[in-house]
Structure formats: structure tokens, C-alpha cells
Amino acid sequence: MDLKHEIQRRRTFAIISHPDAGKTTMTEKLLLYGGAIQQAGSVTAKQNQAHARSDWMSMEQQRGISISSSAMVFEYDGYHVNLLDTPGHQDFSEDTYRTLMAADSALMMLDAARGVQAQTEKLFAVCKNRGIPILTFMNKLDRPAMDFFELLEQVESTLKIKVAPLTWPIGSGPDFKGIFDLQRRQVLLFERVEHGRERAPVQVRDLEDEALADLIGADAHRQLREELELVEGALEPFDQEAFLRGEMTPVFWGSAMNNFGVENFLERFVTLTPPPAPLETTAGPLDPEAPFTGFIFKLQANMSKAHRDRTAYMRVASGRFERGMEVVHTRTGRSLRLSRAHSLFAQDRESVEEAFPGDIVGLVNPGVFRIGDVVSVNPKLRLHDFPRFTPESFMTAYAKDVSKRKAFRKGVEQLAEEGVVQVFYPTDGARDPLLGAVGHLQFEVFEHRMLEEYGVAVELMSSSFKLVRWLAGPTDKVERFARQVEDDQGRPVMLFRSVWDLEYAVEQNPDLEFLPQPKDL
Ligand code: GDP
């Protein structure tokens, strides 16, 4: 097996979007074109089976949201593509950050009628921060869209990234006629396909083809030429280097539901996006061709009733992974044999025998792994801490039935580890932990999963705290500063009731830093 070749043909990416923009639909179609499934739609069918097996997932189903995330795999044109599913619900959870830590590029899906939405902005910021290349797909062109130029302008001004259309739409809604491929100088004609379950037949025509005006109408033909003149005259041409630096996004148009523009996107996607990048470690970048190293970016407990255990999601960062191989768990220095390794595709549990950089492997986790842990043949390798979200609302949690205290602790620990909520333990002897979240849905998920998976009915009481800051500075000063809580890693944390309280504390303690994120341990 040629390691270099396997690395070069790997593409690992995530789709980021606001709920309802069409991420699930796009995922299905990509898998269809990738030949991973017979018919688009079976992803949903599979997920439904999994939902039936897992109670907390039934909550997702009721709400029509995706809380869990898994890793899908398909082959396309000799490329081996890993698609990481990011949770798409309105309330942001840490899970999303973490998943994006394992992606080499991202596809931003926008609903062409709605443009950039709140969740797109947040997720985009995470990708931008990591400096990964971002592609854009303008979806739902079969519905009336915003003005195309306005849409592009909105992306540029709100997200601060240059746009470079690689295709261009011909009308939208009832007048949607197809897309023009700017590089191939060809028009792909749109046909509505029933349920979009099959590969769409695509008719290709030259822009100058006389027959084209007949096919799309003389007005549409004229408008297309005018718009293209503007696009090519006013916008910078696509620059691969700027794209790789995360400064420019290639823009594609289509309709995921109608399978239109999807394969055109996929063809470009594999050639434009980069293979796995070197991993940033505390000792500098690690070459993917170096001997085996993997890191844990996500933990998930109780994926199904059949498997009431914890799975650690590992991304292979370098070298060849082989099931059963012996590695060092670098945080503890312990030797581990990675024998219980499985794939994460659509909730199935198939053993994984080997994997290469960019691939995602599920490891059954008997409580050994934490987020950001490294397993490697090199015992010295460590990662910088993963970014955490800064919680904006807080609740006190306790078990309604005091005899369930042990199960309560376990549940709180495991769900916090997963990033469902953040947990803060009072250091003043008070027993009940405080939970932090960005939005209310996270508390509901927590409550639901505590009951379903740990058998604990929890009581949540809103807290008057509004802000959290991690403290840094000379240890004795931090110690002396009234310390109320610590996070799950034992780091000193302060909670505040108002911005005013925080500002006062900052003013009174010039030696201390009050950070919205914890510093590296
Ligand atoms: P997600 O929340 O981003 O995963 O979005 P979904 O893929 O679940 O899509 C949300 C809704 O938009 C569903 O009802 C889809 O059928 C619909 N949808 C997705 N793509 C298109 C499209 O190209 N055109 C139209 N008209 N509807 C679409």
C-alpha cells in the first residue's frame, strides 16, 4: 500500500449551513454520486432505523433536527472522500467546533432565497479561524432566489471572503433553466426529476450554440450573457492559492433536491480541495507521511441501545492505522492496543482494518479518551487545547431522586465530555454542578438524555449567572481571588451576574486575566 498515494487521494470535509438550507439533502446526493448508496434517500432510511433504536435520537426526529454527527465515506473518481456530518440545530454546541477540527475543508450551503443566516455565520467563523478552504453551494435555485449579485455581495460583506463563481445560474424559481460552467464554457440544462432519486440527466450546450436561445428562451439567453459580462468584468477570477488560504470561496449553484449542479460541484470539489494537512502539535506541524498518529475530536456515549458504550472519534493524522496496533496514549503515557475500531458510516458498526490520514475511525472508549487526546507511536506528541464555546446561559442541575446521585454524576461527566453542555463544579462545598450552554436546546437535550440513558430525572433551575471567564495569572493571586467554580478539568473559573460585575473584577485585579476561553493546560 502506497501511503503517499492514499494520502493524496483523501479528502475530508464537512458541510456547514443554517438549518433547512439543504445539508441533509446534499449529503444524500453526494453519497448517491459517490456510489456509496444505491438510491439517495437511503441515508435517511438508515438514520430512521438508528433513530428507532436510540431514544435520544427520537427527540431529534420529533424536532426534525440533527444532533448527532457521524462520518460518511464515499469514493469518487479515484478519490476517497470522508464527509463529516456537523450538527445542524439552531443552538450551537461544542460538538460542532470539534467536528470542524477534523475537517480539511468545508462546504458552505446557502439557501439562495435566504442568503447568509445566523448559523452560517457562526460556523463560517470557526472554519475561517482554522484557515481551512471553504467552498460555497447556493441551493434551491428551483425556488425564487435573491438577486444573484446581491447574494454574492452579502457573502463578501458579512463573511469577509472573496467570491469567485465557477458556475452561474440561468434564472431561478419557475424560470430556472440551468447553470453555465464558466471554465468549460458550457450550459447544463435543468430538468426537474421526480423526488430527485436518480442521477439527473444533463444536457450540455455551448453558450454560443444557436439552439440554446431556443431552449432557454431569447430573453434568458440575453440576460445570461449580460450577467456573465458583469461577473467576468467585475469579479476577480478564481485563484486556487487564495482559496487554499481561506480568502476566496468558489461558488456553485444548483438544486440539491433536484440533483442539479451536484455532480458538477463534486467533480470540482475533489480537484480543488487539498489532501490532509499536517497536524498542528505542540512540537510543530506533523507530516501526514510520518509514522502513525491519530487524535480524538469527538466522544459520544450510548450511540444506540445495542451499544451502551462510549465511542471516541479518531482522525488519523499521519501514517497507516492498523486495527490492533499498539500505540501510546500520550496524555497518560500508557500503551494501548487499538483493537476495537469501527467505521462510523450511518451508525453501522463494521470493523475497520486499516485507515489513512484524513480517515475517521470509531474507537470503543472505556473512559480512557478525552477530546484532544493523541494516540501515536511517538509518545511525545500532544495537541493544543481545542477551542471551546463560551456559554451564555447557566442552570443548576440536580437529581430529583437523591438515591440516583451516582448515576447523575456519571451522566453529567459523560455528557459534558461530549460537549452537550459544559459543567462547572462549585468549590465551596455546594454539591450541585452548574451547567453552561449557548442556547436552551442544549439543556433540553441534556435533560432528555439523562433520563433516557442514565435513568435520572433531573431538575434544572435557572441561575442568575450570565457570564463565565477562565482565570489566568500568577497562581497565588488566582488562588486568593474568590474562586467559585472550576471546569471539568479543574481549571479556575469565575461566573458573573453582569458585564458590570465582570468589569469591576477586571479593574480590581490587574494581575489577572479573565478569558472567554480556557488557556492551554
Ligand atoms: P438541512 O436542515 O440543512 O439538513 O436541510 P434539508 O436537507 O433537510 O432540507 C430542508 C428542506 O429543504 C427539505 O424539505 C428539503 O426537501 C428542502 N430542499 C433541499 N434542497 C432543496 C432544493 O434544492 N430545492 C427545494 N425546493 N427544496 C429543497
Contact 426, 465 (CB under 8 A): no
pLDDT the model gives residue 174: 93
Q: What's the N-to-C CA distance of the chain in angstroms?
A: 38
Strand partners, 342: 351, 362
Is 28 close to ligand 1, i.e. is its CB under 6 Å away? no
More confident residue, 460 or 129: 460
CA distance 452 to 290: 43
Report how far residue 246's alpha carbon sits from residue 105's, in angstroms, rounded to the nearest whole number.
9
Give the number of residues written for the chain: 521
Burial class (CB in 10 A: 0-12, 13-18, 19+), 285: exposed
* Mean pLDDT (whole number) for 299-310: 67
25 CB burial (10 A radius; 0-12, 13-18, 19+):
buried
Using a cut of 0.95, tell me whether the model's pTM lies above it: no
Residue 260 phi/psi, 5° resolution? -105, 125
If DSSP codes are grouped into helix, strand and coil, which group holds residue 470? Answer: strand
Residues 6+ apart with CB under 8 A from 11: 79, 80, 81, 82, 104, 105, 269, 270, 273, 275, 358
**ipTM of the complex model:** 0.99
Q: Which atom of ligand 1 is nearest to the CA of 109?
A: 3
Tell me the residue type at 40: A
What's residue 268's pLDDT? 96
Residue from 15, 17, 18, 25 whose mutation best tests the ligand 1 pocket (most atoms within 8 A of CB): 25
Identical fold, 3-173+239-272 and 393-515: no
Q: Give distance in angstroms: CA of 97 to centre of ligand 1.
A: 23
**Rg from Cα positions in the chain:** 25
What percent of the chain lies above the pLDDT cut of 70?
85
The residue whose CA has the least distance to atom 11 of ligand 1 is: 20
Which are the contacts of 107, defined by CB distance < 8 A and separation ≥ 6? 13, 14, 15, 16, 26, 134, 135, 136, 137, 269
- CATH class for domain 3-173+239-272? alpha beta
Dihedral pair phi/psi, residue 48, rounded to 5° = -60, -40
The grid coordinates listed for 36 are: 456509496
Q: Are 108 and 154 in contact (CB under 8 A)?
A: no
Task: Using CA atoms of 494, 500, 504, 510 in order, give the dihedral in degrees to the nearest 10.
Answer: 70
Rounded Cα–Cα distance for residues 141 and 173 (Å): 6
CATH class name, domain 393-515: alpha beta
Give residues with Cβ within 8 angstroms of 453, minimum separation 6. 55, 56, 301, 302, 308, 411
Give me the mean pLDDT over the 321-350 stretch.
Answer: 81
- Give the Å distances, CA to CA, from 480 to 268, 474, 512: 58, 10, 11
Give the pLDDT mean for 2-11. 96
- Can you tell me which residue has the cell 461527566? 413
The reply to whether ligand 1 has any atom less than 6 angstroms from the CB of 257 is yes
User: Ligand 1, residues 140, 193, 257, 260: which to mutate, most atoms within 8 A of Cβ?
Assistant: 257
Q: Please name which of 505, 404, 414, 495 lies closest in space to residue 456, comparing C-alpha atoms.
A: 404
518 three-class SS: coil
Which of 234-238, 274-278, 336-340, 454-458 has the lowest average pLDDT? 336-340
Question: In the predicted model, is pLDDT for residue 135 greater than 60?
Answer: yes
pLDDT for 346 beyond 50: no
Residue 243, φ and ψ in degrees, nearest 5: -65, -45
Would you say 100 and 126 are in contact if contact means Cβ atoms under 8 Å apart? yes
Q: Give the residue from 27, 13, 21, 11 showing the smallest Cα distance to 106.
A: 13
- Cell numbers 480524538: residue: 296
Measured at the CA of 484, the angle between CA 368 and CA 390, to 5 degrees, comes to: 65
Q: Determine if ligand 1 sits within 6 Å of the CB of residue 255.
A: yes
Q: What is the pLDDT of residue 400?
A: 94
Q: How confident is the model at residue 194 (pLDDT cuts 50, 70, 90)?
A: low
pLDDT in tens, 470-501: 988 887 777 666 557 888 888 888 899 999 99
Angle at 441 between CA 96 and CA 413, to 5 degrees: 70
- Region of poorest pLDDT, from 132-146, 279-293, 313-327, 472-486: 472-486
Q: What is the pLDDT of residue 93?
A: 64
For residues 408, 489, 317, 252, the Cα torsion angle rounded to the nearest 10 degrees is: 70
> What CATH superfamily is the domain 279-376?
Translation factors (2.40.30.10)
Asked whether residue 62 carries a pLDDT value surpassing 60, the answer given is no
User: Is the distance from CB of 170 to CB of 176 less than 8 angstroms?
Assistant: yes
- Average pLDDT for the chain: 84
Q: What is the DSSP letter of 299?
A: E
* Cα 412 to Cα 423: distance, rounded to the nearest angstrom: 8
Instruction: State the pLDDT at residue 375.
Output: 96
Q: Tell me if 297 sits within 8 A of 99, measured CB to CB.
A: yes
Q: Is 88 in the pocket of ligand 1 (CB under 6 A)?
A: yes
Q: How high is the pLDDT of residue 250?
A: 98
Higher pLDDT: 454 or 209? It is 454
Report the 10 Å Cβ neighbour count for 514: 19
Label residue 66 by pLDDT band (50, 70, 90): very low
Tell me if 142 CB under 6 Å of ligand 1: yes
pLDDT at residue 319 tops 50: yes
Give the three-class secondary structure for 175.
Answer: helix
Q: Which segments are annotated as binding site?
A: 17-24, 85-89, 139-142
Residue 254, amino acid? G
Give 230 Cα–ligand 1 centroid separation in angstroms: 30
Cβ(221)–Cβ(213) under 8 Å? yes
pLDDT tens-digit map of 356-410: 999 998 888 777 888 899 999 999 999 987 777 788 899 999 999 989 999 999 9
Q: Read off the C-alpha cell for 457.
A: 430525572
Contact assessment for residue 497 and residue 465, using Cβ atoms and an 8 Å cutoff: yes
Q: Taking the CB of residue 319, how many other CB atoms lie within 10 A of it?
A: 24
Domain range summary for the chain, segments of one domain joined by +? 3-173+239-272, 279-376, 393-515
| More confident call, 182 vs 341 | 182
